[in-house]
């Protein structure tokens, strides 16, 4: 697989599990050559990242999180 073909992707991983965030980041960077992968452990953190880095173009989202869950985050 040509890793350079995915270098334009700016990914955000949102999951309340730090282990899942780490695993996703490793897969995206090592297997797909996505160099920009930001991870957060809550919906409020994810909203802050999205507002700060407007070039995020792919989000991996846990739909069942404590507090504000992924479905609520999508609505925002």
DSSP, collapsed to helix, strand or coil, labels residue 3 as helix
Helices (H), 1-76: 18-32, 43-52, 70-75
68: confidence class by pLDDT, cuts 50, 70, 90: confident
> Which is more confident, 24 or 76?
24
pLDDT of the residue at 3 = 46
Query: For the chain, what is the domain count?
Result: 1
Where residue 39 sits, what CATH number does that domain have?
Answer: 3.40.50.2300
Contact 3, 49 (CB under 8 A): no
Q: What is the mean pLDDT of the chain?
A: 88
- Span of 15-24, 35-44, 55-64, 65-74 with lowest mean pLDDT: 65-74
Domain coverage including residue 8: 3-75
Contact 15, 21 (CB under 8 A): yes
Beta bridge partners of residue 36, listed in sequence order: 10
């Amino acid at each position: 697989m040509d890793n350079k073909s995915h270098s334009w992707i700016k990914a955000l991983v949102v999951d309340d599990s730090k282990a899942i965030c780490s695993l996703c980041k490793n897969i995206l960077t090592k297997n797909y050559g996505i160099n920009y992968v930001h991870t957060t452990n809550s919906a409020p953190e994810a909203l802050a990242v999205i507002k700060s880095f407007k070039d995020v173009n792919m989000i991996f989202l846990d739909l069942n999180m404590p507090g504000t869950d992924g479905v609520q985050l999508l609505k925002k």
